[in-house]
Every structure is written in C-alpha cells, then in structure tokens.
Amino acid sequence: MFLKFQNKISDAASSGRSHLKKSQILGLILSLAIIVLLNLVGSIWFFRLDLTSEKRFTLTQGTREMLRNLNDVVYFRVYLHGELPAEFARLRQQTQEMLDEFRAFTPYVQYEFIDPIGESETGGLVDMLIEKGLQPTQVQVRTQGAATRQTIFPGAVVSFAGKEIAIQLLGDFIGKSPLEVLNYSAQALEYRLANAIRQATIVHKPRIGFLEGQGELADYHLLDIADALSDFYQVGRIVLNNNLDELLSLQTLIIPKPTRPFTEAQKFMLDQFVMHGGSVLWLIDPVFASMDSLRAPTFESIGMAWPLNLEDILFQYGVRLNNILLKDLQAAPIPVTTGMMGNRPQIDLLPWFYFPLLGPASNHTVVKNLNMIRSEFVSSIDTVSAPGVDKTILLHTSPYTQIVATPASIALSVLHNPPDPNHFAMGAQPVAVLLEGTFRSVFENRIIPDVELPMGYQPLTVSQRTAMIVVADGDIIKNQIDRHGQPQPLGFDRFSGQNFGNRDFIVNAVDYLAHGPGILEARGRELRLRLLDRERVNRNREWLQLINIGGPIVWVSMFGFFMFWWRKRKYGKRP
C-alpha cells in the first residue's frame, strides 16, 4: 500500500516535470515566433518611437522626404574628434546621433569623424579646411592645474558626385554665452546637415529674379546674396518692360530697395505675377536717408518720405509702410571722432540709433534661431485688413525704440550726449511681415493700364495661394564694400567685425517663398540642454566620484544578496 502511494507521488512528479518542460519549450518557440514576426513586420512597415519630450530623434517631414529621394552616397567628413572639451564632445555626439537618424531613413548617408589636428602633423589638412571655408575656433580649456588654448574645427565637408560643400556646425550668435551658442547650434543641426545635402544634390534649380530698372541696389551690393542663392536657384535680373511671360517664368521675385516710382503698367505686371502664384520679397525704404549725406562740415541730413507709388498695391495685399524712422538703443555701431590725441583724432565705435538690430518677433521657421539682423534707417509696418490673407510679424526692433516723424533731422551730434531712455519707450515696432493666402488684385474693377499682354491673356483678379514678405528696409540685403572695393559677406559689419544674421534671413525668406516650409521646419527644433552645475561639481568632486564608482557596486551587491536570500528561502529544504 505504501509502495503504491510512493509510486503515485513519483509518477505525479515526473508528469509535472514533463509538463513544465513542454511549457518551457512551447514558450521558447512562441517567443522565437514573435521575434520573427516582429522582424517581418518591421521590414515591411518602418517606424521609430521617440520618447524624448522635445522629440530629439524625430526628423521633420521635409528632411525625411529629401532623404528618401537620395539615389547615391552622400559622405560626411566631420572634423570633431580627438580630445575635446565636454561641450564640444556633446556637440560631436549630437552630430553623430543626427547622422544616425539620417541613416535610419536612407542607406546613402555615410560619415566618418576626423581629428584635424591629430592627423595633420604638417598642418596640410588644417590649411585645406580653411581653404574650403571652415573656420577654426579657439577655446580655453580649464583643468584643475592650469588653462590651455585648443584649436577646434566645428565643421564638416559633405561630398556627393564629385561636389564638396563645407558647413559650419557651430553658429555665431551675438550676445549669447558659449553654452547658449552650443545649444542653438545643436538645435540647428538637422537644418544645417539637411541643407548641405540639398545643396550638394540639387539638379533642377528654380528661377528667381532681382528686379532692376527702378533704381535698385547695384550688383556689387548684391554679390554675396546672389552667390548664396545661386547654390539653390538660377539667379538673374529682370526689368519690368512689357515682358509678362518672362516675369511669370520666375518662382520668386526680389525687389531690393527701389528708388524710382513705379508706373501703373509696372504695378499691373507685379500684380499679375502675384495673381499667378508668384511670390515676392519686398525690400522697401519708405523714407530716404543715407549716410553719404552726413558729411562735413555740418554732419547733418534730412530724412524725407520717398514716394514709390506702391502704397495702394501693398495696402491691397494687407500692409502699410509708415513714413517714419525708427531709432533704437539696440543698434549697430559706427566709427565716430570723439576727441583729439595730440594731432590725431580719437575714433570710437558708438551705437548709431538709426541702425537698429532687429530680432525675431515670432517662432516662425523663417526667423527661428536667427542671429540679430543689422538694418539701416528702418521704418515700421502696420497690417491692414485683407480677406483670405494670413499675416505673421517676422522682425521687430527692441522695446527701447523711438519713433521719428518725417521730415526727420538726422545729425551725428546726437552721439556726443548720452541718450534719454524716456525718449526710447515706444516699444518694439514691426519691421518685416509675412503675408500668405489668396490675394485680390488691386486692379479689380479698375481700368487696365496700357500693357502689351500675351495673345489671349485674361487678367486675374484673385490669386492662387501664394506668399510674400514685406520688409521696411531696403538695406537689409546690401553687403558692405571694404576699403579696397571688395564686397564683404552679407551681414558682416566691417566696423565692429561682427557677423549678423542678414544672409540667413534672406536665404530663409527666399526658401520659404519658393518652396514653403520644407526643411526650414528643422529650424523650429528646440532641444533643452541639461547641463551640470560646474561650480557644484568642482566643490563636491570627491563625493561625486565616490557615488559614481561605489554606488553601482553597492547596488549590485545588495541585489545579489537579496536574490541569494530569496532563492534560498523559496527552494531551500524545509524540515
């Protein structure tokens, strides 16, 4: 009887072990089947899950579309490698992460990281990078014992089909701390890298044109921006002279500071260009004022309203340019004689209030993360009612602005006395406005001017959906000329040596007008930089090192002891 009972227990245990073994095998087979099924699904339907709060690893739609359309290898040589300060090591990591994101959407993106200093014993690589356009950065590296200076090339060279494009990964942001500059540069990584791919791979370039014949800026004042735009567009000049077909072949028209009034026939051509979906960048000076007129012996001039006969067409589209001048305490400097040292004049750089530094007035992609923009003798803009048109203020002055009615007396003598802050309390004034939507013709219900139109052409009174940007400053697109007569980069101030954001603003504006948001959406990225408190780290260095080294050991040991105790308690023999 006892033996039968013992055999039954043995058979039950054997059956239990057999059932457990079958369950384990079945679970293993099921797990393998799920893994295979997930891989098959993943090979058919591609998706990525970004759990970061700021969507750090999510590319914009325009970038993804461009990457999917690649048909050949784009090779990045990134010159951020070797022993780098912590901030630049973080920029290197962020650059690699962004390139890996690119590779997730196409196999045609490849890269390598190079140490230009360590791999260039004779300096040949460094000289080559400078020749390609990459600018070195000198940084001071502080250690516990001493401080040393280190040369870093925060840039990359992109190669595609024999073409090479140099890009700076570190931006230039006036008035920002080094850490803020690095943060803004990290935010712009997707845009900079994607824009370099676009520049290297572009085949068919849309046509854009600079208007001439109305006293616009001369070619040598537009050389730099024309060169920058030529990377993406066919750039030319066009005169409004009964050539509507030629005008309609353009994607975008740029009107750079006209000084002669427009005839009704010319306005009709501009209006029909807009009605057919053409986009326009208006760079208009409503008030005439020039530094050339501030000469000895009086160093005084008068700012006068400048009639261009554009008031009605711009009003119809939704804006009014005011015949005033804006003075701003936040202004670009000019050299001024402030005294004499013996027989030699003492010259200092003083902020010239008529040259406001403009800042972004919104988070729109055209102006997001832009540097300050230098302007000259700028006016303000008001928006007016225009059904079907959306209006976005892009640029404005600082809150410390003064409005000067015209005719305005302009004199350098104002720099000899400190400004009264109470006079600069008019608040930020809008200077640039984006208009987008469907526009109504200013010639609706009006007699059409005497214009030679193509055979069978019927004037339109309502536009296709399009966009335009109106800026109340024509000099915002003008590059300076050095003392040798050579054009300077747009945005470079030869007096202060600073690089302002004029070039980026114009390129962004044209890109938006010609293509819509596209890869410009990448400018809207915001990445929060979670930095350590350096002072606190230095103060508690030993304690933090002990926690970082000893903490994991303690936690692993505690977990091991707990697992040992739990297994002993569960599976140990009981009396």
Mean pLDDT of the chain: 83
Query: Does the structure show a pLDDT above 70 at 565?
Result: yes
Q: At what angle do helices 61-68 and 189-201 cross, to 10 degrees?
A: 40
Minimum mean pLDDT among 140-144, 417-421, 426-430, 526-530: which range? 526-530
207-524, CATH topology level: Rossmann fold (3.40.50)
- The percentage of residues in the chain with a pLDDT greater than 70, rounded to a whole number, is 84
Average pLDDT estimate for 208-215 = 94
Average pLDDT estimate for 440-455 = 88
Query: Does the structure show a pLDDT above 60 at 7?
Result: no
> Residue 443's pLDDT is what?
93
Question: Which residues have C-beta within 8 Å of that of residue 435, sequence separation ≥ 6?
Answer: 317, 318, 319, 386, 389, 390, 391, 467, 468, 469, 470
Highest mean pLDDT among 185-189, 305-309, 483-487: 305-309
CA-CA distance, 57 to 101, in Å (whole number)? 7
> Residue 376's pLDDT is what?
93
> Residue 2's pLDDT is what?
45
> Residue 529's pLDDT is what?
52
Average pLDDT estimate for 345-366 = 88
- Structure pTM? 0.75
Q: Provide φ and ψ at 32, rounded to 5°.
A: -65, -40
> Residue 3's pLDDT is what?
47
Per-residue tokens: 348? 């200092």
Residue in 83, 115, 81, 84 with CA at minimum distance from that of residue 96: 81
Confirm or reject CATH 3.20.20.300 for domain 61-200, answering yes or no.
no
Query: Does the structure show a pLDDT above 50 at 5?
Result: no
Residue with tokens 């997930």: 38
Residue 144 confidence class, pLDDT cut points 50, 70, 90: low
Question: Which residues have C-beta within 8 Å of that of residue 223, sequence separation ≥ 6?
Answer: 479, 487
> Residue 91's pLDDT is what?
84
CA-CA distance, 367 to 359, in Å (whole number)? 8
Q: Give the other-Cβ count within 10 Å of 139's Cβ.
A: 16
Residue 365 confidence class, pLDDT cut points 50, 70, 90: confident
For residue 542, the surrounding DSSP H or E stretch is: helix 541-571
Query: Does the structure show a pLDDT above 80 at 186?
Result: no
For the chain, which residues make up each domain, given as ranges? 61-200, 207-524
Minimum mean pLDDT among 10-14, 252-256, 348-352, 497-501: which range? 10-14
Average pLDDT estimate for 469-483 = 93
Query: pLDDT tens across 74-123, in order?
Result: 999 988 887 777 778 888 888 888 898 888 888 899 999 988 876 655 45
Query: Does the structure show a pLDDT above 90 at 132?
Result: no
Per-residue tokens: 188? 């712009």
Alpha helices in 239-310 (DSSP H): 244-248, 264-275
- The percentage of residues in the chain with a pLDDT greater than 90, rounded to a whole number, is 34
Torsion of the alpha carbons at 487, 308, 426 and 407, rounded to the nearest 10? 100
Average pLDDT estimate for 195-214 = 89
Average pLDDT estimate for 227-247 = 90
Residues constituting the chain: 575
Residue in 224, 217, 270, 246 with CA at minimum distance from that of residue 473: 217
